[in-house]
C-alpha cells in the first residue's frame, strides 16, 4: 500500500498455479431469497459516513477497514461503493478477505493486517496486496515469493509494532534485530509502519498516549537503522473521532457503518457517542409467518422458558440465532412490528423466534418485523440500534453487526 494511493489503472495478475488457492464462503444472494428475512444496506448512508470520517481525518489518508465481511454488510458491494466515493484504500484481517475484494474488481490498495498467510505468500503479491509483517518468517516467505514472481521492483510491506496491545507486532526488545534482517532483504521495501490501539475508547486517553509515545520511540529506532517508511498509521474509529493518533493515515471501521464508539469508564459506564452525524447503514427485517393465541399456563418455545400469564397472542418470525439474532435475547429482547416494540418470548431458536403481540392490534401474517433499525407503523415509530442490542446481551455493537450471518441475503439500496 503506497501513501500516494489512487492508481486506478493497475493490473492484477493471476495467482501462480503452484501456489495455494484461497477460497471464500458463498454468501446468500438476493436472488436465492425465499423467506422474508434479509439485511438492507443503505449505500447513501455509507457514503455519508465516509464524508464524516474524512472531515475528522483532516487530510490523512482514509483506509477503510472491511474485515469480517465489512462488519457484516457485505464486503464487495461496500468496497465498490467506498472506492468510487474516494476511500484511499482498504484494510482486511485475512488474505481470504483481500482475495474476495480483488475478485470483486477492487483495484484500490489493500492492506492485509492479520499477519497469517498460510504459506500463500505469492498469492498476496500476485493479487497486488500489501502485507503487514512482524515475524522473521514473513521476511523469508515474501522474499522467496517476490523472486518466484520475478517482480521488477521491491515489494511494499508495512511493519507492525506492538506498543501495548500484546497481540501481534514487534516488541521493542526485538526491533533492532528484526530491522537488521529486514535491511538485508532487497526484495522488500518497508513503506509503512503501524500499531494497534488497545484503549482508544477508554474514558482516559492515557494508555493511547503512552502507546503513541512508544510508537514514536520505536519509529526513531528504525530510522537509525535506515528504515524510514512513507506512511505511519494507528487510529481506529474511536481515536479518529477523538482526534487522537491521526498521523498520515487512519483506519476507520465501525464508524463507516454508522456506529460511533463511546467513552467507556472503568466502571463500565458508557458515555455519549463521539460523533452524532454518523448514520446506520444496515437494517435487518423479516415478516410474521404465523400468529396464534396461547392460553394462560401454556409454555412457548424450547425448554418452556416462557409461560403465559394471560391469553397471549404469539407471532412467529423466521429469524433465529443461526441468522444472528442472539439466543441471549430470549425473554429479554424486542422486535418492532407495526411501529411498536414486541417482547421476544421464549428461547430464540436456530431458525425462528416468537414475539408477544397481544398489545399490538392488527398483527397478521406478512406484517413487517424490524430486527435492527427504525420502523414506522400504525402503532407508532421506534428504533432498535446495534448499541441497544449489545447492551442487552452484554457485548458490543461490533459483535451484533458481524453476527448477522451469510445466510441472510444483503439487499443494497440508495436510500
Instruction: Show which residues are catalytic.
Output: 67, 302
Q: From 34, 11, 73, select the one nearest 351 (Cα to Cα).
A: 34
Kindly state the cell numbers that stand for 172.
Answer: 521493542
Give rounded-to-5 percent helix, strand, coil for the chain. 30, 25, 45
Enumerate residues 6+ apart whose C-beta is below 8 A from 188.
133, 139, 142, 143, 146, 154, 155, 157, 182
Q: What is the 3-state secondary structure (H, E, C) of 205-261?
A: CHHHHHHHHHHHHHHHHHHHCCCCCCEEEEECHHHHHCCCCCCCEECCCHHHHCCCC
**Other beta carbons within 10 Å of 228:** 11
Q: From 99, 138, 97, 108, select the one nearest 7 (Cα to Cα).
A: 108
Angle at which helices 136-149 and 172-183 cross, to 10°:
20
Q: 397: helix, coil or strand?
A: helix
Enumerate residues 6+ apart whose C-beta is below 8 A from 344.
329, 330, 331, 332, 333, 334, 335, 353, 354, 355
Amino acid at each position: 500500500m503506497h501513501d500516494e494511493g489512487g492508481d486506478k489503472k493497475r493490473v492484477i495478475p493471476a495467482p501462480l498455479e503452484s501456489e495455494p488457492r484461497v477460497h471464500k464462503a458463498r454468501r446468500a444472494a438476493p436472488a436465492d431469497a425465499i423467506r422474508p428475512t434479509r439485511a438492507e444496506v443503505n449505500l447513501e448512508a455509507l457514503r455519508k459516513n465516509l464524508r464524516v470520517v474524512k472531515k475528522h481525518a483532516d487530510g490523512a489518508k482514509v483506509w477503510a477497514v472491511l474485515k469480517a465481511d465489512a462488519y457484516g454488510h457485505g464486503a464487495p458491494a461496500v468496497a465498490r461503493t467506498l472506492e468510487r466515493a474516494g476511500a484511499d484504500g482498504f484494510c482486511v484481517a485475512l488474505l481470504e478477505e483481500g482475495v474476495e475484494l480483488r475478485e470483486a474488481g477492487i483495484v484500490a490498495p489493500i492492506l492485509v493486517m492479520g499477519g497469517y498467510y498460510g504459506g500463500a505468500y505469492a498469492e498476496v503479491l500476485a493479487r497486488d496486496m500489501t502485507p503487514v509483517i512482524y515475524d522473521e518468517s514473513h521476511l523469508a516467505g515474501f522474499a522467496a515469493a517476490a523472486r518466484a514472481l520475478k517482480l521488477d521492483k521491491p515489494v511494499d510491506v508495512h511493519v507492525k509494532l506492538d506498543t501495548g496491545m500484546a497481540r501481534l507486532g514487534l516488541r521493542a526488545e526485538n526491533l533492532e534485530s528484526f530491522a537488521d534482517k529486514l535491511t538485508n532483504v532487497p526484495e522488500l521495501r518497508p513503506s509503512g509502519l503501524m500499531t494497534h490501539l488497545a484503549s482508544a475508547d477508554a474514558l482516559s486517553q492515557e494508555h493511547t498516549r503512552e502507546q503513541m509515545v512508544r510508537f514514536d520511540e520505536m519509529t526513531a529506532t528504525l530510522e537509525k537503522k535506515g528504515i524510514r517508511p512513507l506512511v505511519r498509521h494507528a487510529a481506529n474509529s474511536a481515536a479518529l473521532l477523538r482526534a487522537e493518533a491521526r498521523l498520515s493515515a487512519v483506519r476507520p471501521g465501525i464508524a463507516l457503518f454508522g456506529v460511533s464508539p463511546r467513552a467507556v469508564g472503568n466502571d463500565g459506564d458508557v458515555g455519549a457517542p463521539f460523533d452524532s452525524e454518523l448514520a446506520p447503514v444496515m437494517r435487518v427485517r423479516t415478516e410474521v409467518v404465523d400468529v396464534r393465541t396461547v392460553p394462560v399456563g401454556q409454555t412457548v418455545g424450547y425448554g418452556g422458558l416462557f409461560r403465559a400469564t394471560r391469553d397471549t397472542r404469539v407471532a412467529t418470525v423466521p429469524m433465529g440465532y443461526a441468522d444472528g439474532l442472539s439466543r441471549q435475547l430470549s425473554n429479554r429482547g424486542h422486535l418492532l412490528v407495526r411501529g411498536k416494540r414486541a417482547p421476544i418470548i421464549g428461547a430464540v431458536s436456530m431458525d425462528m423466534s416468537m414475539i408477544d403481540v397481544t398489545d399490538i392490534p392488527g398483527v397478521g401474517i406478512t406484517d413487517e418485523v424490524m430486527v435492527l433499525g427504525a420502523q414506522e407503523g400504525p402503532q407508532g415509530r421506534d428504533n432498535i440500534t446495534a448499541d441497544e442490542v449489545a447492551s442487552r446481551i452484554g457485548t458490543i455493537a461490533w459483535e451484533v453487526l458481524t453476527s448477522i450471518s451469510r445466510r441472510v441475503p444483503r439487499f443494497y439500496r440508495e436510500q
